[in-house]
A and B are shown apart, each in its own frame.
Chain A
């Protein structure tokens, strides 16, 4: 009964994992050439870590994560709190709020490409009306703005998932703590700070980690909308790995990028486990 799963995991996870390590020490290429791949030792890692483009990708990815995580978490927690409070008309709000989660990313990207259109898309009309100006913003073509545009669409696309996880977390906060707080005459803000937030601790750790991993894996939006440009302004780690490994076919080099990415993400997952354990 274990065999089908183990064979498939071996073929598509264990072996590729080991191969990634092996490739990262060689000059392996996507299409096998007449000359077999050569062992390079740590050269690929040295080249990745001294490539200014790689560090641009790291900087962009970290910038994306640092902005997206707090904004997306507050937005999803806010929406979850709203759904958890007893206000009329919320069933409709819930149905609307989960819509982005039901849309495939490639469709979302297409819709936002229309909104970001230069010079006459909706966002430019809004900008021109708001600031009484005839100038416009090149949302995806201006290096100073492009990443922010990617951030906005990414938050739109993925906050409902975190919202649902928070909603489940809120239902697990013991009801008697709220009752005790009400007896003690706590205001709404104090209830949130002293009852809701501590009760959500484990949910928070989980949500922060999945949001971080999701943010660090940013690829689809960038690949379709900007391809990492303009001027590498939206180049992310995975887009960098993709262009080196797939487009330029340098699997050895790109595998070193993949391993660096793996080590980063795996340490975050371990950190989550340790943080969650401390709670118990």
Chain B
């Protein structure tokens, strides 16, 4: 049984590492034709040449400005994540502790939204942002992703579990709802903020359908679209394509490996069931 476990672990490890080692190895080999000829051999997985020409080529490509794509992605992700945390947690706090009977209906409405897959309404969203003249802007990539029913729901679940006495005491002291949220609610939800930030980042990092529909040129395009465009126009330069892939993936992979414990807690924190 123990041997079986090791065999399984080794098989999974190899299946994951082989493609990744190929990505790194090919990215370090500047010889285009050699790369083509070694792609099916062991030399595609163990670097025999180490040079950074492909990386230089990726960073200086005039048609696919990597730096620009990167800056776009960072700007879109950072803005959207920060706004998303405030907007969703404030809404959730108000649903949990505000007054007004409509709150119960709103919670039901939020839960109902969870059942609507984004893909099914994406064309109508496209029509709306075109009518608003937002095509090919940062706003069109940030605004639709800020309010998120799932995040509101996670925050709502968390805030309803705060001790009632604490909230009431703050009320007696004359704090209004916003100040209770700002001084008690938001600071208490730090672990959840990490979860929401992580999930939201992964969402933006992987988003593809929306950015290809609403962006036209390099000016505002994110890395994910840049990657597929670069791949599409450099079909024979595998070294360059892989260098692009490494530049895009490496910082994120390293970051999450360093904060692995929090990362895993963030993912599993999302499986709280309603």
Contacts and interface: CB of A to CB of B under 8 A. Distances in A.
A55 interface: no
Interface string A84-115: 01010110011111111111111101111111
Contact of A19 (B128, B241, B252): B128
Nearest to A245: B123
A115 B22 contact: yes
A258 B147 CA distance: 21
B9 interface: yes
Interface core residue of B13, B19, B144, B257 (most chain A CB under 10 Å)? B19
A19 B41 contact: no
Contact of B13 (A11, A96, A106): A96
A107 B227 contact: yes
Contact of A276 (B37, B143, B244, B273): B273
Contact of A16 (B2, B40, B121): B121
A148 interface: no
B13 A109 contact: no
Given A6-B91, A20-B123, A251-B123, A120 B36 contact: yes
B172 interface: no
B175 interface: no
Given A9-B147, A93-B9, A112-B19, A259 B94 contact: no
Interface string A1-33: 110111011011101110110010000101000
B5 A99 contact: no
Contacts of B146: 4, 8
B16 A2 contact: no
Interface stretch (B54-62, B162-170, B187-195, B259-267): B259-267
Interface residues of A, number: 89
B142 to A, nearest CB: 11
A186 interface: no
B87 interface: yes
Contact of B149 (A9, A101, A203, A261): A9
A215 interface: no
Nearest to A267: B115
Contacts of A254: 123
A12 B19 contact: no
Contact of A168 (B40, B114, B119, B271): B271
Nearest to A108: B19
B125 interface: yes
Nearest to A136: B40
Contacts of A270: 115
Nearest to A254: B123
A223 B87 CA distance: 33
Given A82-B9, A114-B242, A258 B123 contact: yes
Contacts of A79: 8, 12
B260 A98 contact: yes
Contacts of A150: none
Contacts of B225: 106
Contacts of A16: 121-122, 124-125, 127-128
Interface of B: 1-2, 5-6, 8-9, 12-13, 15-20, 22-23, 26, 36-37, 39-41, 44, 87-88, 90-91, 93-95, 98, 106, 113-117, 119-128, 130, 143-144, 146-147, 149, 152, 177-178, 181, 202, 205-206, 208-209, 212-213, 223-225, 227-228, 231-232, 238, 241-242, 244-245, 248-249, 252-253, 256-257, 260, 263-264, 267-268, 271, 273-274
5 contacts: A2-B90, A104-B224, A106-B225, A220-B209, A238-B209
Given A13-B121, A156-B19, 12 more contacts: A13-B147, A16-B122, A19-B127, A111-B23, A117-B39, A169-B271, A206-B273, A224-B228, A238-B209, A246-B123, A246-B213, A269-B115
Interface of A: 1-2, 4-6, 8-9, 11-13, 15-17, 19-20, 23, 28, 30, 75, 78-79, 82, 85, 87, 89-90, 93-107, 109-115, 117, 120-122, 124-125, 156, 161, 164-165, 167-169, 188, 202-203, 206, 213, 217, 219-220, 223-224, 238, 241-242, 245-246, 251, 254-255, 258-259, 261-262, 265-266, 269-270, 273, 276
